[in-house]
Amino acid sequence: MTPRVYVLLPVHNRKAVTEELIRCLVTQSWRNFHLVLLDDGSTDGTAEMVLRHLPDSTICRGDGRWWWAGSLQQGLLWLRRSPVRPEDIVLILNDDTTFESIFLEAGVKALDKKQRTLLLAQLYSAEDGSFLEVGVHADWTALSFTGAKDPALVNCFSTRGLFLRMADILEIGGFHPLLLPHYASDYEYTIRARRKGFTLMTSPEVRLWLKERTTGIRSIPRQPLWPFLRTIFSTRAVQNPMYWTSFVLLACPLRYVPVNLYRVWSGFLRQAVATADA
């Protein structure tokens, strides 16, 4: 029996962006798929737009507090309640990506006869078409994560275009929405899978195009101390030291935990002091 592809798509108030991806799904050559829209409190009509294009989709609605990990965890809970077969394929997508009409078909073919394997789409820029990465290289000695163009360097994946079988999801487990609600939740998930013996795989036939923009807070300008603290400890802040602490404790090899916890909190203190002196 051919596998069915269950597409998990977290969204929040980016109707126009999401619609571009939905139009890509509508044109897929692989028709045996089902979209599970994980709508975390959108107020811009995103879900209604999706149903106009794909009326058989499942809509799971949140209240704006799921974030990325919480949205995906809700998707996994839905899958576990549904008649999904172990050999069926789950695809996790970001809504700021687009792809060709053969995308699902290429992913299914690439996973054919592969066991305990995570397949990540190779990433290209939607702006200029340049090749961006096949995965991520995690360097625990520096607590750095960089996009890798050489598959030999990949030891970590994002969940941006991630294919895996339902049986493998059941073995890997879920996300940590409280400890790691957004940034690095995908890294933790795939690092955990690799530790369990899963193979991280990419294929040049499975491609995504990324709109290179973000809604997260990646740089924090100098400002009074209390606004700085509110900003850096928000879920939208990439530098949030609480979540980086969770990530290090969950994912980092034990021998690097002390030095990386020091990196996290010393970096935070340097930012706080610089803000106070501004």
Q: What is the pLDDT of residues 137-173, one digit of tens each?
A: 999 999 999 999 999 999 999 999 999 999 999 999 9
Fold designation for 5-210? Spore Coat Polysaccharide Biosynthesis Protein SpsA; Chain A (3.90.550)
How do the domains of the chain map onto residue ranges?
A: 5-210, 225-277
Q: Would the pLDDT of 276 be above 70?
A: no
Name the residue among 60, 103, 81, 67 with its Cα closest to residue 205.
103
Angle, vertex CA 177, rays to CA 172 and CA 182, nearest 5: 100
Number of H helices, E strands in the chain: 9, 11
Rounded to an integer, what distance in angstroms lies between the CA atom of residue 44 and that of residue 264? Answer: 37
- Tell me the sheet residues that pair with 135: 148
pLDDT tens, 20-48?
A: 999 999 999 999 999 999 999 999 999 99
pLDDT band at 243 (very low <50, low <70, confident <90, very high): very high
Task: Indicate the SS3 state at residue 98.
Answer: strand
Rounded to an integer, what distance in angstroms lies between the CA atom of residue 22 and that of residue 35? Answer: 9
pLDDT value of position 61: 97
State the maximum Cα–Cα separation within the chain, in Å, rounded to a whole number. 65
Amino acid (one-letter) located at 177: P
pLDDT tens, 98-141?
A: 999 999 999 999 999 999 999 999 999 999 999 999 999 999 99
Region 254-266: mean pLDDT is: 98
Q: Would the pLDDT of 215 be above 60?
A: no
Neighbouring C-beta atoms of residue 222, cutoff 10 Å: 11
Q: Would the pLDDT of 12 be above 70?
A: yes
Greater confidence (57 vs 278) lies with: 57
Rounded to an integer, what distance in angstroms lies between the CA atom of residue 272 and that of residue 264? Answer: 13
Chain centroid to Cα 157, Å, comes to 9
Output the CA–CA distances (angstroms, integers) from residue 198 to 119, 204, 255, in the order listed: 10, 20, 22
pLDDT value of position 117: 98
Q: Would the pLDDT of 214 be above 70?
A: no
Region 165-189: mean pLDDT is: 97
Region 234-261: mean pLDDT is: 96
pLDDT tens, 220-230?
A: 777 788 888 89
Residue-averaged pLDDT of the chain: 94
Q: Would the pLDDT of 219 be above 70?
A: no
